[in-house]
Every structure is written in C-alpha cells, then in structure tokens.
Chains A and B, each alone.
Chain A
Amino acid sequence: LAKTTQPISMDSYEGQEVNITCSHNNIATNDYITWYQQFPSQGPRFIIQGYKTKVTNEVASLFIPADRKSSTLSLPRVSLSDTAVYYCLVGQFKAAGNKLTFGGGTRVLVKP
C-alpha cells in the first residue's frame, strides 16, 4: 500500500484558494488517488478522484504531475464551512483486494 504524507494543518481565510499537497512516492502503476473531507462526528465525504493530469468537479480540482508521486487538492474560494480534515488516499483501481489506508489528514481552518 502506498503511504501518503500530508501537512498536519493549514490556515486560510474566506474567499481564498486552498491547496493541499499529498506525497505518495511509492505509488504503483494501478493506484489511483482519492480525496475525502471529514467534519467532526461525521463519516468522510468523497471529494474527488483521479489517476493523472487534472480532474475538476463542482467543488474541487485535483492536480497530478506526470510522475504521480504527489497530488494537490485545490479548493477554490473557501468558506467557513470548508473547515474540516482532508484526507488523501491511494489505492488500486478496481482490484479485488483493494483497501484504503487513511493517513493523518490535513486539518484546514478557514478564518473569517
């Protein structure tokens, strides 16, 4: 299983763009990258998933360089409600024994 490394915490202000980078140096060829958001006392919520280059949806963008050894989650114009813990996970795509291991996550605090 590819190990991931994220910053422990980040502070930001309302309206700013937040970029969280995750390192996964030993990512395998069949591994994909998924990001989740978790609020206190709730289950994680799926944000975005990608394999290479750039993926964008209605809430975030995911940038993955060519070597795939890292990825960056970009949250545009954050609001106070985006204060949460964000997890980066790496797993094997559609593999029978796939399981995701959660790292420490990044605690994002959005200030007014």
Chain B
Amino acid sequence: GAVVSQHPSRVICKSGTSVKIECRSLDFQATTMFWYRQFPKQSLMLMATSNEGSKATYEQGVEKDKFLINHASLTLSTLTVTSAHPEDSSFYICSARDLVGGTDTQYFGPGTRLTVL
C-alpha cells in the first residue's frame, strides 16, 4: 500500500512554455501533499506544502506565481511550472502524507525529470 505516482516521469520543453506535473496517491487519501526539487548530487529541497481545498504554502525563496500548485482532490495535486527557463531544469518529486493508523508518513512519488531547452 501507500503508493504515489507522478506523471510524466520525464519531460523536455522549450524555454518559455509551461509544464504541468501530476501527483496522485493511488491507495490512500492525502489531505497534505508536498513538492520537492532536487538538483544533481544534492538533497531534496522542499518547495511547497499543498493542502486539499486551500492555497499552497510556499517555502521562502520559491515564487508562487511561477510554481502553481493545485490540490483539488484528496488524491491529486498538480505543479505547473510556468514560463519555464533552463534554470528550472531539475528533478521534481512529490510526496503524500498518510496519517492512517499509528504512523505519520510521507510517501514519495518516483519523480519527474524536467529539462528546459
């Protein structure tokens, strides 16, 4: 159980275009999802916390108008990178928080590799 999927797994786009990444919790409901970014050889950096039915909370230094987050249902959150530029190229990973039972665990998706040309 506790499976999180992401789509697409890999995307290449031209500079100036927008890209949408989907994150789904497949077998549990997640009121809270998180979006991370990871550059090569570095750790994961939290970008924003996505709460179902409310506005996302962004970490300091993350532009909310550039990284649009929508969490319209208990199983789906989307991240849209608007007007992407080469410096936005990175590995984007989402996670979904599972509070069932005696645990409070984040389960991560497989990640989306974004390359902006």
Task: List the interface of chain A (C-beta within 8 A of B).
Answer: 32, 34, 36, 41-46, 49, 87, 91, 93-94, 98-105
Contact = CB atoms under 8 A, between A and B. Distances in A.
B34 A34 contact: no
Interface stretch (B13-21, B40-48, B67-75, B78-86): B40-48
A90 to B, nearest CB: 12
Interface in B78-106: 91, 93-95, 97, 99, 103-106
A39 B31 CA distance: 27
Given A34-B105, A98-B104, A42 B45 contact: no
7 contacts: A34-B105, A41-B113, A42-B110, A46-B108, A49-B104, A87-B44, A102-B46
B111 A43 contact: yes
Contacts of B111: 41-43
Contacts of B108: 36, 43-46
Contact of A46 (B36, B49, B99, B107): B107
